[in-house]
């Protein structure tokens, strides 16, 4: 079945562009949280490795262990700037998410393709008062778009806003609160 | 047409189905561990046959008891515009599947059900595999009734151009019919042959592993006797190529048999807005899908199929995309071994007005080859060093000779074409495959680039539909962004039902 909409004469430069989206940064606490959770694992792990090597439990020199530890620490340290470049944009018709320090990506999910929305927060996120917003499309097993590090009230507002919009256009008798968007 | 029923039980013959499914899962996915288990059991049986016998008996009895309990606990009914199923021996599962959400229906008539006028019905929804309903062993008339209902039920929010309600039995038009010769071509040219190879390799691997422990010498002896039995005129260096050739022949034969079993008597009908396929030699299978549910079309031409100028076509409904499987893979509707004329006819039916012959594909950047050259180059260097320092024969390096032309070919195959509201992607190596879909089916778009691509101003565009994900690699960033904007605009302005 074909769409009833056709509009061939529109010039490409007239289309709304993803490059002009108004980007919002994540909560400043998010970058701190990511760094903290990384360090919370790697600092004790490094200390334990050095201790084991000093006690002679593992047959590797302390220098080697320290070097390996430093190399493994790099991704954790980079997670801080990586978290700071993550940003999102909510447009009239779609939701965008941009991430990546070196490997950059921009993901878009049109709002009329969102089937299901979920907010999640783990213990550490709760401590920082943050939530992760997940948007699911049809047919997949995983979330299509994930926005981490939103302040809790903002996250709930966004979820509600995206649900309500879908309700208004798709299914007027459906009231918000349920996570399923009726299509 | 409001039809509802009380809770029903399926026929006890369904137990056979459950048993067969269990066995197929046990053997099909990985026969290695099972063979090991059997070998271990046989070895153990020599020591204490009684214990093995009692264990086996207990296991069989338990299995039968579970199957019977499973059958007793399996109930289904039609209620309130939905199909409801309860099942589970220890944990009860209840599933309600509204008819309007059904994506795909499959009706099968295996040999053991046919004499009793029974059939097996599989119904898939847009959700995950856990939302699939199998009704193994229900009367044929009832299965047909449920199928018709599932395929005709129109979603409540129907677009105006959708089918006219009340058109209960639209005229049936035959689109395609397959002769055994077509199926033989399909057998030798389909990816199923690779599956056969993988299964054979894993069987061989398991056999050799199990022989390795105690019967190494026996195996060696057997090999030697086999070599001695070879005719004297056969040079030694021909033994291996001949063995490989023989294996390939066997695989091709197996693949052809599989194709004949699966697709014998293949017929594709169009009935108004729905497509129906009947096929199968031993198990008669009937599959139906509504036109609107088709998310994308895939057309594959392996290099063998290229020699015959045939394409294998599949229509994919929503759902997790499964790899190519010998039996057609999940809910996809297959049209095997199409000649160019048949292919044009089917594409015209599915995507009217698409000028397939005159599509102009955009090439991707030649830098597409760089990471591939880097990978294989590194591998070649490592091998060269290895050859230099140890006694690995130097001809190993010759194995890398076909790599550069293959990479070049792979790059030449990559392409994309936006024709009106449709996007067509091309890929492949020696063979070629196409993916075709309406822009409004897009669910998620992702533009991404690695540091080197960014340096060159290139990006990849990832496109996810309900039926799977695709990628246009190494296109200029600006083109990618514009294509993304265009597709988004198509999706966001479209009112057509897309699920």
Q: Give every CB contact of residue B466 below 8 A, 6+ residues apart in sequence.
A: A137, A138, A139, A140, B126, B295, B318, B319, B441, B443, B498, B499
- pLDDT surpasses 50 at A26: yes
Contact B444 A113 (CB under 8 A): yes
> Considering CB atoms only, which of B128, B162, B447 is closest to A1?
B162
Contacts of A16 in chain B (CB under 8 A): 485, 489
User: CA-nearest residue of chain A to B291?
Assistant: A1
Of B155 and B70, the one with more pLDDT = B70
Tokens of B474: 């190494």
Residue B457 in contact with partner chain A when CB distance is under 8 A? no
Of A26 and A2, the one with more pLDDT = A26
Rounded to a whole number, what is the distance in Å from the CA of B454 to chain A's nearest CA?
A: 9
Listed by start position, the domains of chain A span 28-83, 88-170
Of A165 and B440, the one with more pLDDT = B440
Of B269 and B91, the one with more pLDDT = B269
Rounded to a whole number, what is the distance in Å from the CA of B96 to chain A's nearest CA?
A: 16
What local confidence, expressed as pLDDT, does residue B158 receive? 41
- The answer for A 77-116 residues in CB contact with B (under 8 A) is 93-94, 100, 102-113
| pLDDT one-digit tens code per residue, B357-402 | 889 999 999 999 999 999 999 999 999 999 999 888 888 888 899 9
- pLDDT surpasses 60 at B472: yes
Rounded to a whole number, what is the distance in Å from the CA of A158 to chain B's nearest CA?
A: 19
**Structural contact between residues B432 and B415, judged by C-beta atoms closer than 8 angstroms:** no
Q: Give every CB contact of residue B127 below 8 A, 6+ residues apart in sequence.
A: none
> Considering CB atoms only, which of B446, B495, B499 is closest to A106?
B446
Position B284 confidence tier, pLDDT thresholds 50, 70, 90: confident
Please give the average per-residue pLDDT across B294-319, as a whole number.
Answer: 88
Please state, rounded to an integer, the average pLDDT across all residues of chain B: 82
DSSP state of A59: S
Of B222 and B161, the one with more pLDDT = B222
Q: Give every CB contact of residue B255 below 8 A, 6+ residues apart in sequence.
A: B187, B188, B190, B192, B193, B196, B326
Strand partners, A147: A133
Residue B446 in contact with partner chain A when CB distance is under 8 A? yes
User: CA-nearest residue of chain B to A10?
Assistant: B486
Neighbouring C-beta atoms of residue B92, cutoff 10 Å: 9
Position B81 confidence tier, pLDDT thresholds 50, 70, 90: confident
Please give the average per-residue pLDDT across B250-276, as a whole number.
Answer: 87
Whole-number Cα distances in Å, A182 to A26, B66, B156, B193, B488 = 29, 39, 11, 42, 20
- pLDDT surpasses 70 at B105: yes
Contact A1 B291 (CB under 8 A): yes
> Considering CB atoms only, which of A12, A103, A109 is closest to B486?
A12
What local confidence, expressed as pLDDT, does residue B453 receive? 95
| pLDDT one-digit tens code per residue, B401-439 | 999 999 999 999 999 999 888 999 999 888 899 999 999
Give me the half-sphere count of Cα atoms (radius 13 Å) on the Cβ side of residue B20: 10
**Structural contact between residues B31 and B199, judged by C-beta atoms closer than 8 angstroms:** yes
- pLDDT surpasses 80 at B27: no
Q: What region, left, alpha or beta, does residue A172 occupy, with left being phi > 0 and alpha being psi -120 to 50 degrees?
A: alpha
What local confidence, expressed as pLDDT, does residue B473 receive? 95
Contact B466 A102 (CB under 8 A): no
- Could you please report the per-residue DSSP string of B359-409? --PEEPPGGGHHHHHHHHHHHHHHHHHHHHHS---GGGGGGGTTHHHHHHH
Q: Which of A107-116, B314-323, B383-392 has the lowest mean pLDDT?
A: B314-323
Highest mean pLDDT among A126-130, B201-205, B227-231: A126-130
Whole-angstrom Cα distance, residue B288 to residue B293?
11
Whole-angstrom Cα distance, residue B350 to residue B112?
36
Per-residue b or e along B237-261, where b marks 16 or more CB atoms closer than 10 Å to that residue's CB: eeeeeeeeeeeeeebbebbbebbbb
Please state, rounded to an integer, the average pLDDT across all residues of chain A: 82
- pLDDT surpasses 50 at B260: yes
Of B200 and B396, the one with more pLDDT = B396
Taking the CA atoms of residue B79, residue B84, residue B85 and residue B91 in that order, the dihedral angle to the nearest 10 degrees is -110
Residue with tokens 């009908």: B269
Contact A15 B489 (CB under 8 A): yes
Number of A–B residue contacts, CB under 8 Å: 127
3-state class of B320 per DSSP?
Answer: coil
Contact B161 A93 (CB under 8 A): no
**Structural contact between residues B314 and B297, judged by C-beta atoms closer than 8 angstroms:** yes
Closest alpha carbon to B37 in B29, B47, B26, B51: B26
Position B163 confidence tier, pLDDT thresholds 50, 70, 90: very low
What local confidence, expressed as pLDDT, does residue B470 receive? 93
- pLDDT surpasses 60 at B449: yes
Residue B447 in contact with partner chain A when CB distance is under 8 A? yes
What local confidence, expressed as pLDDT, does residue B420 receive? 82
Whole-number Cα distances in Å, B99 to B104, B120, B146, B174 = 11, 18, 9, 26
- pLDDT surpasses 70 at B231: no
């Amino acid at each position: 079945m074909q769409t009833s909409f056709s509009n061939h004469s529109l010039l490409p430069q007239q289309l709304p562009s993803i490059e002009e989206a108004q980007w919002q940064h994540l909560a400043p606490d998010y970058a701190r949280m990511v760094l903290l959770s990384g360090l919370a694992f790697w600092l004790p792990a490094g200390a334990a490795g050095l201790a084991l090597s000093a006690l002679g439990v593992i047959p590797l020199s302390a220098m080697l262990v320290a070097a390996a530890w430093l190399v493994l620490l790099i991704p954790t340290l980079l997670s801080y700037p990586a978290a700071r470049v993550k940003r999102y944009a909510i447009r009239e018709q779609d939701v965008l998410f941009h991430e990546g320090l070196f490997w950059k990506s921009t993901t878009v999910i049109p709002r009329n393709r969102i089937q299901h929305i979920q907010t999640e927060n783990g213990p550490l996120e709760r401590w920082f008062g943050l939530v992760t917003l997940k948007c699911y499309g049809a047919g997949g097993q995983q979330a299509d778009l994930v926005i981490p590090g939103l302040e809790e009230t903002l996250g709930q507002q966004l979820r509600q806003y995206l649900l309500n919009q879908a309700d208004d256009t798709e299914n007027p008798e459906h009231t918000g609160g349920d996570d399923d968007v009726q299509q | 047409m409001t039809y509802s029923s009380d809770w029903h039980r399926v026929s006890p013959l369904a137990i056979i189905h459950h048993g067969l499914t269990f066995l197929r899962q046990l053997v099909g996915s990985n026969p290695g561990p099972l063979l090991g288990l059997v070998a271990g059991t046989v070895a153990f049986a020599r020591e204490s046959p009684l214990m093995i016998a009692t264990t086996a008996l207990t296991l069989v009895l338990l299995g039968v008891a579970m199957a019977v309990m499973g059958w007793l606990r399996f109930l289904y009914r039609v209620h309130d515009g939905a199909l409801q199923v309860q099942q589970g021996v220890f944990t009860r599962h209840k599933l309600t599947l509204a008819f309007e959400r059904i994506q795909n229906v499959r009706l099968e008539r295996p040999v053991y059900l046919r004499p009793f006028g029974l059939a097996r019905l599989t119904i898939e929804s847009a959700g995950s595999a856990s939302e699939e309903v199998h009704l193994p062993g229900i009367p044929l008339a009832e299965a047909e009734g449920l199928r018709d209902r599932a395929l005709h039920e129109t979603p409540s929010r129907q677009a105006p151009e959708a089918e006219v309600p009340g058109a209960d039995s639209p005229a049936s038009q035959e689109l395609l019919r397959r002769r055994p010769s077509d199926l033989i071509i399909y057998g030798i040219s389909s990816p199923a042959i690779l599956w056969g190879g993988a299964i054979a390799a894993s069987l061989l691997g398991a056999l050799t592993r199990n022989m390795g422990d105690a019967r190494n010498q026996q195996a060696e002896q057997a090999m030697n006797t086999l070599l001695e039995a070879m005719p004297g005129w056969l040079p030694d260096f021909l033994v291996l190529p001949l063995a490989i050739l023989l294996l390939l022949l066997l695989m091709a034969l197996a693949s052809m048999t599989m194709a004949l079993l699966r697709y014998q008597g293949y017929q594709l009908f169009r009935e108004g807005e729905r497509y129906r396929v009947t096929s199968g030699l031993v198990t008669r299978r009937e599959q139906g899908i509504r036109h609107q549910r088709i998310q994308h079309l895939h057309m594959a031409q392996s290099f063998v199929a290229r020699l015959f100028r045939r394409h294998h076509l599949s229509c994919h409904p929503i759902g997790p995309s499964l790899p190519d499987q010998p039996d057609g893979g999940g809910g996809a509707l297959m049209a095997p071994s199409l000649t160019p004329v048949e292919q044009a006819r089917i594409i015209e039916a599915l995507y009217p007005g698409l000028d397939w012959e005159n599509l102009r594909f955009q090439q991707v950047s030649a830098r597409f080859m760089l990471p591939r050259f880097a990978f294989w180059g590194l591998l070649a260097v490592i091998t060269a060093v290895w050859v230099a320092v140890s006694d690995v024969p130097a001809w190993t390096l010759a194995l890398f000779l076909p790599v550069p032309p293959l990479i070049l070919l792979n790059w030449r195959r990559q392409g994309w074409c936006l024709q009106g509201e449709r996007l067509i992607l091309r890929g492949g190596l020696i063979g070629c495959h196409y993916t075709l879909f309406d822009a409004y089916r897009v669910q998620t778009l992702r533009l991404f680039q690695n540091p080197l691509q960014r340096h060159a101003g290139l990006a990849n565009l990832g496109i996810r539909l309900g039926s799977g994900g695709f990628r246009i690699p190494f296109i200029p960033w600006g083109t990618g962004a514009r294509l993304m904007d265009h597709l988004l605009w198509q999706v966001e302005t479209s009112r057509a039902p897309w699920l």
